[in-house]
Amino acid sequence: RKEVEQDPGPFNVPEGATVAFNCTYSNSASQSFFWYRQDCRKEPKLLMSVYSSGNEDGRFTAQLNRASQYISLLIRDSKLSDSATYLCVDRRNTGNQFYFGTGTSLTVIP
Amino acid sequence: GAGVSQSPSNKVTEKGKDVELRCDPISGHTALYWYRQRLGQGLEFLIYFQGNSAPDKSGLPSDRFSAERTGESVSTLTIQRTQQEDSAVYLCASSLVQGWTEAFFGQGTRLTVV
């Protein structure tokens, strides 16, 4: 089983739509998670951290479900500029390793 | 600059040649990571350095790949006798160890083996 698994998509949604991605992780002891965004031919950049209480940043909401071992990312009112690949990351507290999912591709259509 | 710096940004090399890629992490970041990303694929972990500890080399795909880091400074990734399947973007990232902070990536080195 992979450390972090994501649906690769692609997700093609119209402007203004709400879209949600889920990501499952294998290590029940993990406590630190992130969502990164990667634009075509660019490096990954942090989108947001995922706190156990959930967190929101504008149109973006990230949540953690420990019981089912998944994290989610919700994007409301999608913009064309949201088109990118979204990477789910598990940062292990032991060993200090970052485990990246393979990414979910989103295209927002005019 | 304050970010992770990688050089060269692009490298074209002939099959069989050796290449050396450089990564300059954010000052004060004791953890440094190398990843490989083939076109259209996810990030593939290569190697991890943390301070003066022995590096985690578990992701290196073959003995043609090696990496060094002196203390908490610059790291170099060396690929010997390059093959066409080595063509990829090589990404370096650094992070703090204390606290659950994120990794910061450099812009990568795009390696093309012809």
The per-residue pLDDT for range A29-86, each reduced to its tens digit, is 888 899 999 999 999 999 999 978 889 999 999 999 999 999 999 999 999 999 999 9
Copy the structure tokens of residue B102: 């994120």
DSSP string, B58-94: TT--STTEEEEE-TTS-EEEEE-S--GGG-EEEEEEE
Q: How far is CA A27 from the centre of its chain?
A: 17
Q: Please give the Cα distance from B23 to B73 (Å, whole number).
A: 9
The shortest C-alpha distance from A40 to chain B (Å) reads 9
Q: Please give the Cα distance from B107 to B3 (Å, whole number).
A: 10
Q: Which of B33, B91, B100 sits opposite A43 (nearest CB)?
A: B91
**Which chain A residues contact residue B35 at CB under 8 A?**
100
Terminal Cα distance for chain B, rounded:
33
pLDDT of residue A51: 79
What is the strand order of the sheet A4-6 is part of? A4-6, A19-25, A70-75, A60-65, A55-57
The mean pLDDT value for B2-20 works out to: 97
Mutation to test the B interface, candidates A46, A98, A99, A104, most B Cβ within 10 Å: A98
Q: Does A58 touch chain B (CB under 8 A)?
A: no
**Which chain B residues contact residue A91 at CB under 8 A?**
100, 102-103
A49: left (phi over 0), alpha (psi -120 to 50) or beta: beta
CA nearest to B107 within chain A: A43
Per residue in B45-100, pLDDT tens? 999 999 888 999 999 999 999 999 988 889 999 999 999 999 999 999 999 887 67
